[in-house]
Amino acid sequence: MNSALERMVIAEELSGFDVYIDPMQYTDSDKPLKVKIQGVKDGVVHAFEVDLGYRQKINEELTA
pLDDT digits over 55-64, tens only?
Answer: 677 766 656 5
Q: What's the whole-model pTM score? A: 0.66
Q: Give the 3-state secondary structure of residue 8.
A: helix
Bridge partners of 35, per DSSP, are 50
What tens digit of pLDDT does each residue of 24-56 get? 988 776 778 888 999 999 888 999 888 877 667
Strand order across the beta sheet in which 44-52 lies = 16-20, 33-41, 44-52
8 A C-beta contact, residue 53 and residue 35: no
Whole-number Å distance between alpha carbons of 52 and 22: 13
